[in-house]
Amino acid sequence: MVHAIRMPKPGQMTEECTITTWFKREGDPVARGDILFEIETDKSAMEVEAFDDGVLLKILAAEGDVVPVNAICAYVGEAGEEIPDAPPATTPAPAPTPDPAPAPASATPPVPATSPALSVALASAAPSSSGAADAGDSRVRISPRASRAAAEVGLDPRSITGTGPEGRIVERDVRAAAAARAVAPTPRVTAITVPPAQGEEEPRPLSRMRRVIADRLTSSWTSTPHFTVTVAVDVTALLGLRAELKSAGTNLTVTDFVLAATAQTLAEFPDVNSRTDGVSVWPRRRVHLGLAVSLPGGLVVPVIRDADRLAIGELHDRAIALAAQARQGTLPVDDMTGSTFTVSNLGMFGVEEFSAIINPGEAAILAVASAVPTAIAIGDGLAVRTIMKLTLSADHRLVDGELGARFLGAIRRRLEDAAAFRQEALNA
């Protein structure tokens, strides 16, 4: 009997994967549990195994092909068996979209263009019971699931045509719009021809991971009004505590202290822990802290669930385990989704100050720079203290400057209170 080998769905938001390597060739024998091919998602790589014995009859998707989830990649069966006709596994080019029919007179009027001030008002407006948000004459009918999905994929709900009751946008409309955007041809632009520089090699395509990073962060930067706030934190006492604890056998890192302070502060400032799509706001009472981890091929963000409920030693153990899995390529997809806030630390690279781009689906991100010995005024004299700068990048639709400054100030107070960390370490 012929069995179809389909592209798996590694994560809830994964819609397509790239086949990087085939380990079997057409005609090769296949046993249940054999690794057939390897795929790459936007977050990790994984192997796809066979669930049936037989022979690899036909490969429909070659190495390098981008294949939608659940599409047939190959067939396994008995030698000589006839395989069914199947469409190509790769994503087809989109069919031309017909012009939409004129809306009936009773339909919701089109959303007028809004000014930046009105956009801010839309971001803070509470959703109505019907799933629509109002701002002046603007009204977007959208279900909560659809609005959540639109925020996750970076789509403006006002650009989506609804097919639900009374033109309401439902989740399938968001998925269709996201799929259309993914396969839409790149607009033709007039490029400036630049002669190759001496010694320049032939161009190579970006990896799947780098393309997804480029797409998600470009969408975040261009669709989210970023602003940044920076504070200088005196970590002299904190580093002294770290050395004291290390000599006693407890090896905590600066990142551990930052994660602990940030998690507790997010519980204190739930608005910074929330998210918005520009129409609705989703408050979050649980703190799921993302930690940016650099890999040779890009960047992933493992998630520490309920970080505000963990002691600093537990945060340390969880962060170490997640980072190790990420670097080994064994981090489950579920541990890379659902973060409510992200911390990016470049302090180990001698960086004095930097700002980060907000991870889509969040309201802010914290950039942690190096701890640098600095001469500062204390009273009428000077003293050398170790100063570390923290920069908050925040979504101005949800977080105002005052809120961002108070949030950073609360993190600073926690980091400068080494006595509180000492007490927590002693109680652990």
Kindly list the catalytic residues. 396
**72 vs 32, 86, 89, CA distance in Å?**
18, 8, 6
Rounded CA gap, 136 and 133, in Å?
A: 10
* Contact by Cβ (8 Å): 341, 286: no
Distance CA 163, CA 170 (A): 7
Edge-to-edge strand order for the sheet containing 289-291? 226-234, 381-395, 364-378, 341-345, 289-291, 303-304
User: CA 114, 340, 160: angle at the middle one, nearest 5?
Assistant: 35
Distances (CA, A) of 85 to 70, 82, 351: 16, 9, 57
Position 293: which residue type?
V
Phi, psi of 371 (to 5 degrees): -85, 115
Return the bridge partners of 242, or none.
Answer: none
